[in-house]
């Protein structure tokens, strides 16, 4: 992995070669190439945000086969850079960077965490690029966290995530948890299974187990806040170390939940990418 230079910005320009049998509007052409309406609106407000063959063009104008369309994006970062942080980088391209986030590090700044987050480290590496985490992990959840370097990359990634967790007790078979999740009354943070909540579906496979714990491979059909933690607590197998949902442990720091695999489309490399990360050592020791 090469060393990143402070201020390095690799992708502020996207180039497209028009291939069509008949002329088409810029709006339709960009939509077919995965550019969102929100990004198009932002580009229209910029000087030379959208050009065709070197000339500024409107989204209602037509382009034809062989034309070159260029999008020039101007990102701005509002996070304070922190050069003292150091988060391992497991993958990087012109459009995305994947970190191996440690436990006890939030992804976003909050009232209690103003300078020690993944966002602050990203702002140091890319001081003029907006921080766009594609999958957001809890502070005490470790593992792979993908950050897009531009809005177009976010729209194109179609991220698939696989988690690994260690639950209390011996779970003998693979299964699916289909139980709606809602916010607990009078609580900003705590979630619970409730008939009034939004549908939440969690798929899990047993990897290995002993008399005390079970290592699980988990994929989510929905993405509710604290979904994995709430669901396994609900079925009587809370995650080891999860203080909020009932399984505080002195055998592990933080909860035994790790994002261990990401699969996504890298638009700058024009290919599907799969990243597999190692499980935390303290998790593997439990099973």
Instruction: Please give the positions annotated as active site.
Output: 138
Concatenated DSSP letters for 56-86?
Answer: E--TTSEE-TT-EEEEE------SPP-TT--
What CA–CA distances, in Å, run from 243 to 119, 180, 246?
25, 21, 5
Nearest one of 155, 158, 141 to 99, comparing CA atoms: 141
d(CA 210, CA 205): 15
Instruction: Identify the H or E element spanning 44.
Output: helix 37-45
- CB of 178 within 8 A of CB of 203? no
Concatenated DSSP letters for 203-230?
Answer: EEEEEEE-SSEEEEEEEESS--TTHHHH
3-state secondary structure of 157: helix
d(CA 212, CA 83): 41
Per the DSSP assignment, residues forming a β-bridge with 143 are 101, 259
Per the DSSP assignment, residues forming a β-bridge with 133 are 147
Kindly give, in sequence order, each residue whose CB lies less than 8 Å from that of residue 205, ignoring residues fewer than 6 positions away. 174, 216, 217, 218
For residue 285, count CB atoms less than 10 angstroms from its CB and return exposed for 0-12, middle for 13-18, buried for 19 or more.
Answer: exposed
């Amino acid at each position: 992995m090469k060393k990143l230079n402070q201020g390095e910005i690799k992708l502020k320009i996207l180039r497209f070669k028009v291939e069509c049998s008949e002329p088409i509007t810029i709006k339709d052409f960009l939509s077919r190439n995965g550019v969102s309406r929100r990004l198009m609106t932002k580009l229209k407000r910029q000087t030379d945000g959208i050009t065709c063959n070197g000339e500024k063009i409107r989204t209602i104008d037509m382009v034809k086969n062989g034309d070159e369309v260029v999008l020039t994006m101007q990102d701005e970062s509002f996070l304070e850079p922190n050069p003292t942080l150091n988060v391992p980088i497991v993958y990087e391209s012109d459009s995305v960077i994947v970190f191996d986030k440690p436990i006890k590090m939030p992804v976003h700044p909050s009232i209690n965490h103003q300078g020690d987050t993944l966002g602050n480290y990203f702002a140091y590496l890319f001081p003029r690029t907006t921080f766009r985490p594609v999958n957001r992990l809890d502070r005490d959840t470790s593992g792979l966290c993908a950050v897009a370097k531009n809005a177009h990359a976010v729209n194109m990634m179609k991220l698939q995530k696989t988690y690994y967790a260690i639950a209390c007790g011996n779970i003998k078979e693979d299964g699916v948890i289909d139980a709606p999740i809602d916010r607990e009354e009078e609580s900003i943070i705590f979630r619970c299974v409730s008939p009034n909540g939004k549908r939440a579906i969690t798929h899990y496979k047993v990897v290995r187990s002993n008399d005390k714990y079970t290592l699980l491979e988990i994929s989510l059909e929905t993405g509710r806040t604290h979904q994995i933690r709430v669901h396994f607590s609900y079925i009587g197998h809370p995650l080891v170390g999860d203080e909020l949902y009932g399984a505080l442990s002195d055998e592990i720091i933080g909860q035994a939940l790790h994002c261990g695999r990401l699969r996504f489309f890298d638009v700058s490399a024009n290919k599907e990418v799969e990243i597999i990360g190692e499980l935390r050592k303290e998790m593997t020791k439990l099973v």
